[in-house]
């Protein structure tokens, strides 16, 4: 069966450190993968898109890697700040631009 796995445990991290989140998937062949941020009671906010032929993408303090052999994406927040505290969602394309989402991984940045 198809699965998208993100760590269910919250990641508590000291301000200024790098937060690294993992997204593993099985039985998908996504043309691209996206990362979103979601705050409680709000809709997701788009962060980054990475295509299957790209290994790495950066945007300001964010970095995403995509390994289609391992079926894994890593999401990094460098120099983390308390304002980065949120839930981060991994989403895979599965045809006709539809997205399948993971459950998300909560990040708590401690001042």
Partner 1 sequence: GAVVSQHPSRVICKSGTSVKIECRSLDFQATTMFWYRQFPKKSLMLMATSNEGSKATYEQGVEKDKFLINHASLTLSTLTVTSAHPEDSSFYICSASLEETQYFGPGTRLLVL
Considering only residues 83 to 102 of the shown chain, the ones binding partner 1 according to CB under 8 A are 89, 93, 96-102
Please check whether residue 90 is in contact with residue 3, taking contact to mean a CB–CB distance below 8 angstroms: no
Q: Which is nearer to partner 1, 17 or 42 (CB)?
A: 42
Asked if 69 is part of the footprint of partner 1 (rule: CB under 8 A), the reply reads: no
Indicate the SS3 state at residue 83.
helix
Report the distance separating Cα 69 and Cα 72, nearest Å. Answer: 8
Phi, psi of 75 (to 5 degrees): -125, 125
Segment near partner 1 (CB under 8 A); pick from 19-27, 40-48, 64-72, 73-81: 40-48
* Number of residues near partner 1 (by CB under 8 A): 22
């Amino acid at each position: 069966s198809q699965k998208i796995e993100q760590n269910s445990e919250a990641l508590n991290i000291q301000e200024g450190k790098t937060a690294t989140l993992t997204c593993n998937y099985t039985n998908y062949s996504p043309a691209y993968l996206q990362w979103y941020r979601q705050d409680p009671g709000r809709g997701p906010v788009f962060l980054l898109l990475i295509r299957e032929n790209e290994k790495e993408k950066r945007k300001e303090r964010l970095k995403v890697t995509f390994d289609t052999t391992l079926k894994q994406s890593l999401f990094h927040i460098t120099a983390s700040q308390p304002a980065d505290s949120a839930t981060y969602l991994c989403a895979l394309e599965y045809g006709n631009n539809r997205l399948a989402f993971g459950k998300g991984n909560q990040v708590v940045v401690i001042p």
